[in-house]
């Protein structure tokens, strides 16, 4: 990320007024110099694109070789009926640019699988959506090699997940000092506090803030699949309330090595193995729940994409803006109960 | 099935998909959340969506209201949004430009056509209004709001789950008069002084009106001090300010220096004479004539809005903008503060900053001051997208369309609020407690019975108030002593010693469509100490019925134990800085109004600490009322 020209023009300040008030001019200027790659413009990809283009990201490259289908019309708002049969990028690019003429957009209708590692080097951050387990693992190897932050998101009907690998990231959070001071050291399996500074409010000397720098250590997707377990992490009540989407999402990852839409039996088998590994009783997942999860495989549902796309875009903006701690490192969303736990796997 | 409906069919099944196609949604608001909700509801294939907004599009909307473009600025939001979604919509869309609280445009029976209401509002008054309508008609309501990174959704199933008013919304932050007028110590104190006091005195209205207002306020307000000397000084200062308005009248720009001298030299010198004030405080340092003199060399055209200007620059700009306003005043006769009116904003900011300098308070840029003076709440696309998405998803449960997640009782449904973004939890992105049962002390949904009084146009002209009371008394078994209040008009119509109006017809009393009457049992039963519950009736005028038509709701009004009202009047008298629900102004109000506004106001910024879900949701909900209508004071 180049530092760029930090002076925003009066026009930019007026346009971005309501968000600059949240994250400040400096963060807005940093976003303007960022270069982001988004892989696949599906339902979640559409939401992420809308959000980060509106926010004023400097450069966004969209990589997608898909052709518009009838089903896409039910989950992607850049598309209209006449677009069916055309390349998604060709028919959406004007609509995307219209959202914010200041963003420098690049459209690449090449195939993700045919891109060599060097291609990815030019980006400051990469977001992958609708990727298979194998594709995610491969992409993650590349982002690790070049030390590029990576976001992965996908959905299964009413259920969805977000995976984040920022390699290592220091986040600075500021909050009002409480009676218990923050101490330096490890606070959870992936996080440690490395610095604490105290700041007194310039207008009100009674307000004392703690500026806490937290180092986030991330694992690769492959390591997460290996390590993920909830054994000894949940108490009985938490286990009882655990969304079935958690083991089912991982059961699906383990299958995707072979194919994108598994049969119900394959998924069930995989789920049993995962339940063991996670320390979750198989009885936790009711048949009805399992069936509809399997039934919704491959389904993109617009409002779920809005939630997931909103969460990913916000985190990407925070990473560039250096505001708020990023997601570390796995989220699973259950659209029935609105459960959205964050796990440190 | 391979069409745009195939995804939703897989999720809800073919039968429930048909229900969605036949479902009529009301979407109130086409702003940040509204744009997002419209998109989501269309993609979910809802059959018919009516969308309402009274606003037009502004440049500062474009960073998040993704259906609007530069070329749409000043166009109505509702119609523009509907045009913008036409390329992907397969729903019947009906836009309205109007205020949802306008009973002429949107009478009660108009709401009755809908199956579900989605709120995407930015002010408490309208939220409360739609909540009440939902209670009257027993319509499910999806309430939502965002403020910066924070957001919430709350499904409301009337009579079965908590309504919007079941939790108390916090009162606005208030300042005593003397803090504003004599002893400021924060930038906001100076901004309130410049905007609510100085600007109004100079530009808002004619001199006589001001005097009356002032008199009224001074009789009631809390000075925040017992010091007679100080109160006298403040009163005198106010009178002298009227003299300054004569300078504005005169259009003589050479006299602007006199305004500066009066406000920032003479008044400060007088203030310094009251020694009591400075025993425990830092003394202010008044401006000097040298400051004013040296400001004359400054070129104000080079000043940038996002930077903090020097004192001399503030003075130069103050002189420059006062001259502009002076000339405008002679044409416009009265100028109101508007955060988007640069002249008024810069006047307030420079006056506030000069005052800040005098009192040793840090100065602020125009950009930062605008937020405080204009009650601006930060707003971003992502939070709105998340909240609208959640509101849409949960509507499937509210309408009970997920067969595999059948809703056995309404309290199985979840509400949600941002917990990671709001720094409440690191383990959950959202918190999602189950809905609560209605609060039995809620004045909106629990303490009164509600229903619709249908009456024909002719009956409105012929039926007297006395006849109506008699009908209600016998139907719902009220005793002789009842009081009747016109809630909308805030007036008493009848009680045990006020019977002057009983012979008037409803029309004589100016009662009609949308008015709400409140019947209260003033007698009770002495033996059992039980009272008939209060009854609120919404008047709906029907035109397609016989002349003699009048119909009371078919409900039962139960007897209840009389509960002593808690004394809520013991709070200290203060000037309240509250927001007017429709205009973005801070208003100085007296205590009676304050009690009224208590009910419509919102609270302080979220306190960021870890506690249980229930506590947090209360905080979030009292905190987040979206976008432009609130003053943030933390």
Flag if B64 and A303 touch (Cβ within 8 Å): no
Query: B175 or A328: whose pLDDT is higher?
Result: A328
**CATH number, domain containing residue B87:** 3.40.50.720
Given A158, A183, A217, the domain boundary residue is A217
**Given a cut of 60, is residue B586 above it in pLDDT?**
no
Does some domain include residue A107?
yes
SS (H, E, C) B81-149: HHHHHCCCCCCEEEEEECCCCCCCCCCHHHHCCCCEEEECCCCHHHHHHHHHHHHHHCCCEEEEEEECC
Q: Which of B360, B388, B418 is the last residue of a domain?
A: B360
Q: pLDDT for B285-325, tens place per residue?
A: 999 999 999 998 899 888 988 899 999 999 999 999 999 99
B334: distance to nearest CA of chain A, Å? 27
DSSP secondary structure letter of residue A89: H
From B388, B344, B381, select the one nearest B366 (Cα to Cα).
Answer: B344
**Do residues A40 and A183 share a domain?**
no
Residues B201 and B309 in one domain: yes
Does residue B416 contact residue B432 with C-beta atoms inside 8 Å? yes
Whether residues B255 and B148 share a domain: the answer is no
pLDDT at B522 over 80: yes
Structural domain for A186, as ranges: 169-217
Residues B296 and B254 in one domain: yes
Look at residue B485 and tell me if it is in a domain: no
Tell me: pLDDT of B215 over 70: no
- The single residue of B23, B25, B178, B449 carrying the catalytic annotation is B178
Say if A29 falls within a structural domain.
Answer: yes
B52-80 mean pLDDT: 95
Note the pLDDT of residue B456: 93
* B559 lies in some domain: no
Give the CATH number, domain containing residue B249.
Answer: 1.10.10.520
Q: Which is nearest to B277 in space by CA: B240, B228, B349?
A: B228
Indicate if A108 and A27 belong to the same structural domain: yes
What are the backbone angles phi and psi of residue B608, rounded to the nearest 5°? -95, 95
Q: How many domains does chain B have?
A: 2
Q: Are residues A137 and A65 in the same domain?
A: yes
Same domain, yes or no, for A18 and A140?
A: yes
Question: Could you tell me which of B521, B553, B555, B517 has the C-alpha nearest to residue B538?
Answer: B517
User: Coil, strand or helix: which one is B296?
Assistant: coil
**Residues A231, A319 within the same domain:** no
| Residues A99, A26 share a domain | yes
Read off the pLDDT band of B600 (50, 70, 90): very low
A303 with B44: Cβ contact below 8 A: yes
| B305 touching A (Cβ < 8 Å) | yes
- The 10s digit of each residue's pLDDT in B342-373 is 999 999 999 999 999 999 999 999 999 998 88
Flag whether B64 is in a domain: yes
Q: Does B43 touch chain A (CB under 8 A)?
A: yes
B:590-609 residues touching chain A, CB 8 A cutoff:
607-609
Same domain, B125 and B33: yes
Top pLDDT among B141 and B228 is at: B141
**pLDDT at residue number B624:** 39
pLDDT of residue B569: 37
pLDDT of residue B579: 32
Q: Is B123 annotated as a binding residue?
A: yes
Q: Does B101 touch chain A (CB under 8 A)?
A: no
Among A163-172, A281-290, B68-77, B593-602, the least confident range: B593-602
Span A115-146, pLDDT tens digits: 999 999 999 999 999 999 999 999 999 999 99
Asked if B386 reaches chain A (Cβ–Cβ under 8 Å), the answer is: yes
Structure tokens at A170: 């220091």
| Residue A83 placed within a domain | yes
Distance, in Å, from the CA atom of B223 to the CA atom of B511, rounded to the nearest integer, reads 40
Q: What is the pLDDT of residue B374?
A: 87
Domain assignment present for A1 = no
Per the model's pLDDT, the better-predicted residue between A73 and A255 turns out to be: A73
Residue A91 sits in the same domain as residue A118:
yes
Q: Is residue B499 part of a domain?
A: no
Does A113 share its domain with A174? no
Structural domain of residue B285, as residue ranges? 185-360
| Same-domain check for residues A150 and A177 | no
Position B327 scores a pLDDT of 92
Which of A217, A249, A281 is where one domain is finished? A217
Q: Is residue A5 part of a domain?
A: no
The pLDDT of residue B190: 94
Q: Is the pLDDT assigned to residue A232 strictly greater than 70?
A: yes
HSE value, Cβ hemisphere, 13 Å, CA-based, for B45? 23
Candidates B39, B64, B397; nearest CB to A54: B64
For the cut 90, the answer to whether the pLDDT of residue A181 exceeds it is no
Cα–Cα dist A339/A332, whole Å: 8
pLDDT of A258 reads 54
Per mean pLDDT, which range of A24-38, B172-186, B465-479, B535-549 is the poorest? B172-186
Q: Tell me: the pLDDT tens digits for A197-223?
A: 998 887 777 888 999 999 999 999 999
pLDDT recorded at residue B174: 73
Contact (CB<8Å) B380/A71: no
Domain membership flag for residue B563: no
Whole-number Å distance between alpha carbons of B602 and B479: 38
Q: Residue B442 annotated as binding?
A: yes
CB contact under 8 A, B389 and A304: yes
The structure tokens 């308005």 sit at B245
Same domain, A237 and A94: no
Domain count, chain A: 3
**Looking at residues A79-87, what average pLDDT do you find?**
97
Judge whether residue B420 has pLDDT over 50. Answer: yes
Taking residues B123-150, report their average pLDDT: 94
Q: Is the model's pLDDT at A168 over the cut of 70?
A: yes
- Is A106 contained in some domain? yes
Q: Are the Cβ atoms of A324 and B186 closer than 8 angstroms?
A: no
> pLDDT band at residue A264, thresholds of 50, 70 and 90?
confident
Task: For residue B469, tell me if it sits in a domain.
Answer: no
Does residue B215 fall inside a structural domain?
yes
SS3 B578: strand
Tell me the HSE value of B127 on the side-chain side, using a 13 A CA sphere: 28
Checking if the pLDDT of B606 tops 70, the result is no
Within this chain, do residues B159 and B211 fall inside the same structural domain, yes or no?
no
pLDDT of res. B218: 52
Each residue of B435-447: pLDDT tens digit? 999 988 888 888 8
Please indicate whether residue B595 or residue B26 has the higher confidence score (pLDDT).
B26
In eight-state DSSP terms, residue B164 is G
Search chain B and give the residue with CA nearest A15. Answer: B60
* Position A274 in a domain: yes
* Å between B531 CA and nearest CA of chain A: 41
B290 to chain A, any CB pair closer than 8 A? The answer is no
Q: Closest approach of chain A CAs to the CA of B360, in angstroms?
A: 10
Contact list in A for residue B43 (CB cut-off 8 A) is: 74-75, 77, 302-303
Report the Cα B281 to chain-centroid distance in Å.
Answer: 36
d(CA B174, CA B224): 11
SS3 state of residue B150: strand
More confident site: B204 or B285: B285
Instruction: Chain A: give the shortest CA distance to residue B158, in Å.
Output: 21
According to the model, what pLDDT value does residue B222 have? 67
CB proximity under 8 Å: B 355-374 to A: 361-362, 367, 371
B49 lies in the same domain as B117: yes
**Quick one: B356 and B224 in the same domain?**
yes
**Residue A151 pLDDT more than 50?**
yes
The pLDDT of residue B627 is 35
- Chain B nearest C-alpha distance from A176 (Å): 8
B431, B446, B470: which is the final residue of a domain? Answer: B431
Does the annotation mark B440 as catalytic? no
Domain end among A159, A190, A217: A217
Residue A340 · residue B419 · CB < 8 Å:
no
- Identify the CATH number of the domain in which residue A320 sits: 3.40.50.720
Instruction: For residue range A5-36, list pLDDT tens digits in order.
Output: 468 898 999 899 999 988 889 999 999 999 99
What is the model's pLDDT at position A249? 95
Any residues with CB less than 8 A from the CB of B239 and at least 6 apart, and which?
Answer: none
Q: Of A94, A71, A70, whose CA–CA distance to A84 is shortest? A: A70
Query: Does B306 sit within 8 Å of A310, measured CB to CB?
Result: no
Q: Residue A156: what pLDDT?
A: 96
Contact A50 B414 (CB under 8 A): no
Q: Which residues of A259-269 are buried (b: 16+ CB within 10 A; e: fewer)?
A: eeebeeebbbe
- Taking one residue from A and the other from B, the number of pairs with CB-CB distance under 8 angstroms is 211
Q: Which of B1, B2, B7, B340 to mutate to test the interface with A (most CBs of A within 10 A)?
A: B7
- Total Cβ atoms within 10 A of residue A179: 4
pLDDT the model gives residue B366: 93
Write down the mean pLDDT value for chain B. Answer: 84
Q: Is residue A59 part of a domain?
A: yes
Distance between CA atoms of residues B423 and B426, nearest Å: 7
B414:A305 CB<8 A: no
Do A59 and A150 fall into the same domain?
Answer: yes
Please check whether residues A23 and A132 belong to one and the same domain. yes
Tokens matching residue A67:
């052709």
The answer to the question of residue B588 being in a domain is: no
> In 3-state terms, what secondary structure has residue A88?
helix
Same domain, B274 and B342: yes
């Amino acid at each position: 990320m180049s530092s760029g020209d930090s002076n925003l023009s009066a026009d930019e300040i007026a346009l971005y007024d309501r968000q600059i008030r949240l994250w400040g001019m400096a963060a807005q200027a940093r976003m303007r110099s960022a270069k982001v790659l988004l892989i696949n413009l599906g339902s979640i990809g559409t939401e992420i694109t809308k959000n980060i283009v509106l926010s004023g990201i400097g450069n966004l490259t969209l990589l997608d070789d898909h052709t518009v289908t009838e089903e896409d019309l039910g989950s992607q708002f850049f598309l209209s009926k006449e677009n069916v049969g055309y390349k998604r990028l060709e028919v959406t690019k004007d609509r995307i640019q219209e959202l914010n003429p200041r963003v420098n957009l690049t459209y690449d209708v090449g195939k993700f699988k045919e891109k060599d590692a060097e291609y990815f080097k030019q980006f400051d951050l990469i977001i992958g959506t609708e990727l298979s387990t194998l594709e995610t693992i491969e992409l993650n190897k590349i982002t690790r090699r070049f030390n590029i932050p990576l976001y992965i998101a996908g959905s299964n009907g009413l259920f969805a997940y977000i995976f984040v690998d920022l390699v290592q990231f220091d986040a600075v959070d500021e909050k009002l000092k409480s009676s218990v001071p923050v101490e330096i050291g490890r606070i959870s399996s992936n996080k440690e506090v490395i610095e604490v500074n105290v700041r007194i409010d310039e207008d009100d000397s009674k307000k004392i803030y703690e500026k806490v720098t937290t180092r986030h250590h991330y694992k690769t997707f492959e390591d997460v699949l290996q390590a993920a377990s909830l054994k000894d992490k949940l108490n009985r009540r938490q286990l009882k309330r655990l969304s079935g989407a958690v083991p089912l999402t991982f059961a699906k990852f383990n299958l995707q090595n072979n194919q994108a839409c598994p049969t119900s039996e394959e998924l069930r088998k995989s789920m049993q193995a995962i339940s063991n590994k996670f320390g979750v009783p198989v009885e936790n997942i009711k048949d009805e729940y399992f069936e509809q999860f399997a039934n919704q495989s491959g389904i993109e549902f617009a409002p779920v994409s809005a939630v997931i796309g909103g969460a990913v875009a916000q985190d990407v903006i925070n990473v560039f803006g250096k505001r708020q701690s990023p997601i570390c490192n796995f989220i699973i969303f259950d659209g029935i109960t609105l459960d959205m736990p964050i796990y440190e796997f | 099935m391979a069409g745009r409906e195939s995804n939703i069919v897989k999720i809800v099944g073919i039968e429930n998909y048909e229900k969605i196609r036949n479902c009529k949604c009301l979407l109130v608001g086409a702003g940040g959340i509204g744009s997002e909700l419209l998109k989501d509801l269309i993609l979910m294939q809802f059959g018919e969506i009516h969308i309402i907004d009274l606003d037009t599009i502004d440049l500062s909307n474009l960073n998040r209201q993704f259906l609007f473009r530069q070329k749409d600025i000043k166009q109505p939001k509702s119609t523009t949004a509907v045009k913008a979604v036409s390329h992907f919509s397969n729903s019947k869309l009906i836009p309205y430009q109007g205020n949802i609280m306008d009973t002429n445009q949107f009478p009660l029976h108009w709401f009755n056509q809908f199956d579900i209401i989605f709120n995407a509002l930015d002010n408490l008054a309208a939220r409360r209004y739609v909540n009440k309508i939902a209670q009257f008609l027993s319509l499910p309501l999806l309430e939502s709001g965002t403020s910066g990174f924070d957001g919430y959704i709350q499904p409301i199933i009337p009579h079965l789950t908590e309504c919007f008013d079941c939790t108390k919304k916090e009162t606005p932050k208030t300042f005593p008069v003397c803090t504003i007028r004599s002893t400021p110590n924060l930038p906001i104190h100076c901004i309130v002084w410049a905007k609510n006091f100085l600007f109004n005195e100079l530009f808002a209205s004619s001199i006589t009106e001001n005097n009356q207002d002032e008199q009224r306020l001074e009789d009631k307000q809390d000075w925040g001090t017992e010091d007679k000397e100080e109160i006298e000084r403040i009163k005198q200062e106010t009178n002298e300010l009227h003299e300054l308005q004569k300078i504005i009248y005169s259009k003589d720009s050479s006299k602007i220096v006199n305004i500066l001298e009066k406000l920032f030299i003479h008044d400060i010198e007088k203030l310094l004479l009251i020694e009591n004030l400075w025993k425990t405080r830092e003394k202010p340092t008044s401006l000097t004539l040298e400051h004013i003199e040296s400001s004359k060399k400054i070129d104000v055209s080079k000043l940038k809005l996002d930077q903090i200007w020097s004192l001399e620059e503030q003075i130069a700009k103050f002189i420059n903008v006062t001259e502009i306003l002076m000339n405008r005043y002679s044409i416009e006769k009265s100028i109101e503060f508007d955060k988007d009116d640069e002249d008024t904003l810069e006047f307030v900011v420079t006056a506030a900053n000069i005052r800040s300098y005098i009192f040793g308070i840090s100065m602020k840029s125009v950009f930062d001051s605008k937020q405080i003076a204009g009650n601006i709440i930060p707003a971003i696309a992502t939070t709105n997208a998340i909240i609208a998405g959640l509101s849409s998803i949960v509507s499937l449960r509210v309408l009970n369309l997920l067969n595999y997640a059948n809703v056995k009782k309404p309290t199985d449904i979840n509400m949600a609020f941002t917990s990671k973004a709001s720094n409440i939890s690191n383990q959950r992105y959202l918190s999602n407690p189950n809905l609560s049962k209605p609060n039995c002390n809620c004045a909106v949904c629990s303490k009164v019975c509600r229903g619709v009084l249908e009456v024909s146009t002719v009956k409105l002209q012929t039926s007297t108030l006395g006849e109506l009371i008699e009908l209600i008394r016998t139907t719902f078994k009220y005793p002789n002593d009842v009081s009747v209040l016109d809630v909308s008009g805030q007036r008493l119509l009848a009680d045990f010693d006020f019977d002057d109006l009983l012979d008037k017809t409803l029309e004589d009393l100016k009662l009609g469509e949308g008015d709400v009457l409140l019947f209260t049992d003033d007698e009770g039963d002495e033996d059992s100490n039980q009272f008939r519950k209060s009854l609120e009736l919404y008047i709906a005028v029907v035109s397609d019925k016989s002349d003699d038509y009048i119909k009371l709701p078919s409900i039962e009004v139960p007897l209840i134990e009389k509960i002593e009202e808690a004394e809520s009047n013991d709070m200290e008298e203060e000037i309240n800085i509250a927001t007017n629900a429709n205009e973005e102004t801070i208003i100085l109000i007296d205590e009676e109004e304050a009690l009224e506004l208590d009910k419509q106001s919102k609270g302080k910024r979220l306190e960021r600490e870890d506690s249980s879900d229930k506590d947090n949701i209360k905080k979030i909900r009292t905190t987040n009322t979206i976008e432009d209508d609130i003053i943030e004071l933390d």
